[in-house]
Amino acid sequence: MLKVEGINVYYGNIQALKGVSLEINQGEIVTLIGANGAGKSTLLKTISGLLKPKQGQIIYEGQSIAGKAAQSIVKMGISHVPEGRRVFANMTVEENLDLGAYLRKDKEGIKEDFGRVFELFPRLMERRKQLAGTLSGGEQQMLAMGRALMARPRLLVLDEPSMGLAPLLVKTIFRIIEEINATGTTILLVEQNAHMALSIANRAYVIETGRVVLSGTPDELNASEQIKMAYLGGH
């Protein structure tokens, strides 16, 4: 579904991604694991059109999307939930969700998706008239995910969805990610919590200082001493 081939991305003179390649098949959950500053968020931003690669290819459903405008990429079916949630604080929950559908014209479908989001996140239904800025961190994360789903993506890109959340909420968010995937949405997940990420992923890539250093199934990565020591707390 998505093929990234040898991309190089720079911030000014600093090279953030060095020849990164990966692929995602339809229906998978693929996770990226790596330390802070390894280049994971940069990779997601490049896929969703917020950054342009200097070299390399990004092919989505057979079409080249490297360097395309972010809104065109949303239109093609990729939605990005950024790190730090980025909800519109002085708009209501309902208005935030509405913005997720801003490229769509199918009123009936949008209504249907409102229903779907409220089913996945009952808390948002209760808070729909509330300003997004008054929500808790967990509720804002739910809203950011719900807003991305309103674009009806075929590929949902999630950047650190569990960051700063209480353990119980982390479990909830991961359960919902699995539910979204079960309804046919492919997922690319960046997550500091490597244990949780590997527990739901089909495959994983490990990124270190801008390079993919390892990839495989969760079982393969869990069996790797190097990965255990670096990302799984040595257990």
CB burial of 177-192 (b: ≥16 within 10 Å; e: otherwise) equals: beebbeeebbbbbbbb
Q: Is the pLDDT of residue 182 over 60?
A: yes
Indicate whether 147 and 182 sit together in one domain: no
| Whether residues 122 and 15 fall in one domain | no
pLDDT 10s digits, 190-205: 998 888 999 999 999 9
54 and 65 co-located in one domain: yes
Query: Does one domain contain both 185 and 118?
Result: no
Structure tokens, 163: 């960051």
Of the residues 152, 180, 202, which one is the last residue of a structural domain? 152
163 and 118 belong to one structural domain: no
Write the CATH number for 189: 3.40.50.300
pLDDT digits (tens, 9 = 90+) for 25-67: 999 999 999 988 899 999 999 999 999 999 999 999 999 999 8
Structural domain boundaries enclosing 119: 86-152
User: Which residue do the tokens 């495989």 mark?
Assistant: 216
pLDDT at 234: 54
Residue 233: what pLDDT?
A: 67
Same domain, 51 and 145: no
Residues of the chain with pLDDT > 90, as a percent, come to 78
Which of 130, 152, 174 is the endpoint of a domain? 152
Residues 25 and 64 both lie in one domain? yes
pTM (whole model) above 0.85: yes
Together in a domain, 2 and 109: no
Domains held by the chain: number: 2
Q: Are residues 169 and 69 in the same domain?
A: yes
Q: Which residues contact 144 (CB under 8 A, 6 or more apart)?
A: 81, 82, 85, 86, 87
Q: Both 62 and 164 in a single domain?
A: yes
Answer for the pair 135, 121: CB distance below 8 angstroms, yes or no.
no
Answer with the residue of higher pLDDT: 226 or 43.
43
> Is the per-residue pLDDT at 235 higher than 50?
no
Q: What is the pLDDT of residue 52?
A: 95
Average pLDDT over every residue of 168-188: 93
Residues 6 and 42 both lie in one domain: yes
Q: 128-137, 153-162, 174-183, 222-231: which has the minimum mean pLDDT?
A: 222-231
Mean per-residue pLDDT, 78-82: 93
Same-domain status, 93 and 139: yes
The percentage of residues in the chain with a pLDDT greater than 70, rounded to a whole number, is 99
